[in-house]
Copies of this chain bind each other. A is one copy, B any other.
Amino acid sequence: MTSDPPSLSDADALAALAGSFSGRLITDAAQMAPFLIDWRKAWTGTALAVVQPDTAQDVAHVMAWAHANRISVTPQGGNTGLAGGSQPAMQGRNIVVSTARLNRVRAVDAQNSTITVEAGVILQTLQQAAADAGRLFPLSLAAEGSCTIGGNLATNAGGVGVLRYGNTRDLCLGLEVVTPDGRLWDGLRGLRKDNTGYDLRDLYIGSEGTLGVITAAVMKLYPAPAAKVAAFVGLETAHQATALLQLAQARAGATLTAFELISDRALALVLKHFPATRPPFDSAQRWNVLLEISTPVSEAEGRAELEALLAAALDQGVAADAVVAGSLAQSQALWALRERISESQSAEGASLKHDISVPISRIADFIPAGEAALLAIAPGARLVAFGHLGDGNLHYNVSFPEGGDGAAFMALRPQINLAIHDLVAAHDGSISAEHGLGLLRRDEAARYRPAVETDLMQAIKRALDPLNLMNPGKVLPPL
């Protein structure tokens, strides 16, 4: 990371800021470095300072200062994003506003099933605070030990609980936001119904820090289930998987809390790279589904429900083999087969990721069509398809050809991305289901989005951030 030293006027501006707010001001290059590079080490930005305000009022103060000095601001939570949304720009006068010190759980209202948290609260801390109150906060994703709720909101994060509980957007009732000119909006409502004007909340959610800084939120809580029970199902075709989903939703209703698709190749990679894992079936199946029931009654009841469901599935020919976890340890072992896919694929070598969604009714046709398009560009490339089938969301990833040249494969990335994303568009899908746009998918998204839609988004950006100070260059192509 290299950056020019701040000019005198920048130094003067920083001197004026220092001591005028409560929090931490970091200007040392070495200390700033981890805030300027993303988790995947793909993007590096520059900044005059990294600022960690203590309170939302301090954020407002910092933002007013940035506004007066025409300095760009990139909000940053746990910096675990996958799309390059939380680094400052590579040029210009920028600061990072880190939410690290905005880490208070402000209130838990168990009877209202809500929790009010500051943006820098780690997702796992939030989950624990809910559990301590006898409630469930259902958002759950791989980075939960280090990502923050502010980042989850800014990217509308998904994860493994969406089938039942929705995306982060669906879990939020109210927001506190600092505007680009340094005003603090208190929209921290804990209401299930409130029709008193435009939905600003959902506009900030998913805007990746380009419209303002989310400083706190009121999130929904749910009754903690009495037990969760997982099962692993083997299938011959992806069409069977969507049919099984229909059956499971009809029979289990909202107690069905996960429905994850895992291809044979994805499972084989986990078994290869994690020798402690065990195959769920005696003979490998072309497709696998990990499904989970969360029951309000008891573990025994959940297991009985799941066994009856799978018996019906075998009976109707929408499952070829099935195993129900007999204990919490067995459930965890089944989940590990799903959770270790990403790491296994990394361990295997060069790979590409696509975070896509298509209507559930088209997913089984999309999978082979995408593979054909892939193989036409990169013969021998290995499709590693898995993901949240119940949400229509696949991590449609690709590993380099076995025994092939990883670098040569990676050089095909633009063509492969384009072919897969064109096909996603042809299937009425989305090229960014849960990871957001950041820098990674900004221009691709603009390519597929109707022009009028981009115009409307640009109009909103201009209206709410007329000086283009908030996380410039992210989400939307520069004006």
Q: Footprint of B on A, CB under 8 Å?
A: 109-114, 155-156, 158, 162, 164, 167, 169-170, 179, 183-187, 189-200, 202-203, 205-207, 211, 223, 225, 242, 246, 249-255, 294-297, 357-362, 388, 391-393, 428-437, 441, 445, 448-450, 452-457, 459-464, 475-476
Report yes or no: B441 in contact with A392, Cβ–Cβ below 8 A. no
**Which residues of B lie under 8 Å from residue A435 when comparing CB positions?**
195
* A195 surroundings in chain B (CB, below 8 A): 155-156, 158, 206, 430, 432-437
The 8 tightest CB contacts between A and B, nearest first, are: A254-B254, A463-B463, A202-B202, A111-B361, A194-B430, A193-B433, A253-B296, A112-B361
- CA distance in complex: A450, B189 (Å): 12
**Of all chain B residues, which has the CB nearest A242?**
B111
CB distance from A163 to the nearest CB of B (A): 8
A388, B167: Cα distance in complex, Å: 25
Instruction: Report the separation of the CA atoms of residues A162 and B193 in the bound assembly, to the nearest whole angstrom.
Output: 9
Listed by A's residue number, 24 A-B pairs whose Cβ atoms lie within 8 Å are A111-B242, A155-B195, A156-B195, A167-B193, A184-B452, A185-B452, A191-B392, A191-B428, A191-B429, A193-B433, A194-B430, A195-B432, A196-B432, A197-B475, A198-B206, A198-B457, A199-B206, A200-B453, A200-B457, A202-B202, A203-B203, A223-B249, A251-B297, A463-B463
Copies of this chain: 2
For A202, the chain B residues whose CB sits under 8 A away are: 199, 202-203
How far is B192's CA from A429's CA once the two chains are assembled, in angstroms? Answer: 10
Chain B residues with CB under 8 Å of A223's CB are 249-250, 253
Q: List chain B residues, Cβ under 8 A from A460.
A: 198, 203, 460, 463-464
Whether the Cβ atoms of A189 and B456 lie closer than 8 Å is no
Q: Is the CB of A225 within 8 A of B253?
A: yes
Closest to A462 in B: B463
Residues of B within 8 A of A193 (CB): 158, 162, 167, 357, 388, 391-393, 430, 433-434
In the complex formed, the residue of B with least CB distance to A201 is B202
Known: A184-B452, A192-B392, A223-B250. 6 other contacts (CB 8 A): A111-B246, A167-B192, A192-B393, A200-B453, A253-B254, A254-B255
Which of A196, A295, A296 counts the most chain B CB atoms within 10 A? Answer: A196
A196 touches B449 (CB 8 A): yes
B-chain residues with CB within 8 Å of residue A254 when the two chains form the complex:
164, 253-255
Report the Cα distance A456→B201, complex, angstroms. 11
Q: Which of B186, B437, B456 is A185 in contact with, Cβ under 8 Å?
A: B456
Shortest distance in angstroms between A102's beta carbon and chain B's nearest beta carbon? 19
Tell me which of B205, B431, B449 contacts A199 (CB under 8 A). B205
Contact B357 A449 (CB under 8 A): no
Given A112-B361, A200-B457, A170 contacting B170 (CB threshold 8 A): yes
**A196 and B431 contact, Cβ closer than 8 Å, known pairs A186-B450, A190-B359, A392-B191:** yes
In the bound complex, CA of A192 to CA of B199 (Å): 19
A357-B183 in contact given A199-B202, A246-B111, A430-B189 (Cβ < 8 Å):
no
Expressed in whole angstroms, the Cα–Cα distance for A266 and B366 within the complex equals 55
A250→B449 contact, CB < 8 A:
no
Q: Are A449 and B391 in contact (CB under 8 A)?
A: no
Pick from B114, B199, B242: contact of A359, CB under 8 Å: B114
Q: Are B250 and A194 in contact (CB under 8 A)?
A: no
Asked if residues A358 and B191 are in contact (CB atoms below 8 Å), the reply is yes
A357-B457 in contact (CB<8A): no
> Do B196 and A203 have beta carbons less than 8 Å apart?
no
